[in-house]
Copies of this chain bind each other. A is one copy, B any other.
């Protein structure tokens, strides 16, 4: 990573990838390119399924493929609601479970320094690109200061690539909601009852039902709650 052209080469290599195996290989090679002990890449798709690999041991990786386990990791939970890249030192390690997790990670060979970059996709997909190393704070801090931009770009490209492996849920393949259907769902999503929505939109409640049912059908939802969940999580309505 000392030479910037090296980054260009990695990104070009990443663009060219077409299989998951190649993807894994490129990610693993990153630890040499970046010159850190470990890198890993966690990706949670729109359905909540996990996808993980890196240079850590296979035992450790296996645990990350369990969605329930992942949510125990303070690093993941710490980054999930955030946007900025995070140095692991800055996370909250005060709780007992967090410290347990940390010592367990150590046992699996995870080093003392880490830096994670969260990136997100359009339907709530979540990618976390992390680098991990064993060294002193000062060394690490200056390393991060020097390379954070390259790392961000890498995280961005890794996420983009991961998205290509997701089954297609593009908007073109969905029936688009009509304006009234969007209005209806939007108001329902902010807690209005059907009567209130009908009044707000100045239409009869009967008419309203037509929209709700239309939206349910288009979204493949079996009830209103389901429709709201689908519409919000796919960005069709904004709450």
**Cβ contact of A160, chosen from B48, B84, B122, B223, cutoff 8 A:** B84
Q: What is the oligomeric copy number?
A: 2
**Cβ contact of A229, chosen from B80, B120, B190, cutoff 8 A:** B190
- Which residues in B have their C-beta under 8 angstroms from that of A8? 149
In the complex, how many angstroms separate the beta carbon of A128 from the nearest chain B beta carbon?
12
A228 at the interface (CB under 8 A from B): yes
Q: A120-B120, A233-B232 are in contact. Are A221 and B81 (CB under 8 A)?
A: no
**Cβ contact of A191, chosen from B44, B226, B239, cutoff 8 A:** B226
Interface size on A, residues (CB 8 A): 48
A83 at the interface (CB under 8 A from B): yes
Q: What 0/1 pattern do residues 211 to 239 of A give for CB contact below 8 A with B?
A: 00000000001111110111011110011
- 4 smallest CB-CB distances across A and B, nearest first, come from A191-B226, A189-B229, A48-B238, A191-B222
